[in-house]
Amino acid sequence: MTYDDEILMRRVDGELSPEAAAAIDAAVAGDPALADRLAALRSLRALAREAVPLAPDPRDRDLARLIAAAPARQPAAARLFERLTAALQPRHAPVWAGLAAACFVLGLSFGWLGAGAPDRGFTVDRSGVITDAGLTKVLDTRLTADGADAGGRAVGLTFRDADGRWCRTFQSDEAGVAGLACREADAWRLQALAPFQPAAGDLRTAAADIPAPVLAAVDAAIAGDTLDSAAEAEARNAGWR
């Protein structure tokens, strides 16, 4: 049996029945590639929790209790009830609150991500500020037209968000991630992160390589248009002020 990344992430989050979890664990024990995928998803989940440390809102638990106390439901309403109840469980708080408050996107269907990739050069502190010096330099100085640096780090789209912050999409071939970062107090704060594999071949553009979860974050954050090359250079030369 093959397992897609959605079912593996449900295993990481403890959402499967004991029988289904045991079946995946047995498959992982005999399949190194599957074990690597599961380990990578666990690493990415840990990185998300570290970058956006969020606690469950007690109001969510109150709402869940109110939903549970509601009268008998018709089948369609019952399905909605089940989804709401599951979504309001504490284990989902990092994803729910991140999406609502910080637009932190962690897709459930990841594609393949090499085991240990978050440790290969890509780092953020507990406030979500990117601390990878190489990537910070790329975000500070590199233009989309420059392409990738020697480490495969490049920028894609540049724009302002609704708060007036400069935001840029990025990719890091070495770390195996792509994301969105916005400028705050002379630092770049992570807004979205997704696994990334560079497209095969020589004809590549950073914008075309942006994973769907990061594009969703861009769509949620952008105010106005993305910058053309001249405007991008002007913003860079002004120090992202």
Highest mean pLDDT among 79-88, 98-107, 153-162, 169-178: 153-162
- Percentage, residues of the chain above pLDDT 70: 64
pTM above 0.75? no
pLDDT of 112 strictly over 60: no
C-alpha–C-alpha distance, residues 12 and 142, integer Å = 36
How far apart, in whole angstroms, are the C-alpha atoms of residue 85 and residue 230? 49
- The residue that leads in pLDDT, 103 or 80, is 80
**What are residue 58's phi and psi, to 5 degrees?**
-60, -25
Averaged pLDDT, 229-234: 95
Query: What residues form DSSP beta bridges with 179?
Result: 170, 193
E strand segments, the chain: 153-160, 166-172, 177-184, 187-195
Of 208, 213, 207, 183, the closest CA to residue 195 belongs to 213
Mean pLDDT, residues 104-132 taken together: 54
The confidence score (pLDDT) of residue 143 equals 95
Q: What are the domain boundaries of the chain?
A: 5-52, 58-100, 120-237
Q: What is the average per-residue pLDDT within 44-56?
A: 62
- Residue 63's pLDDT band (cuts 50, 70, 90): low
Provide the 10 A C-beta neighbour count for residue 152.
Answer: 17
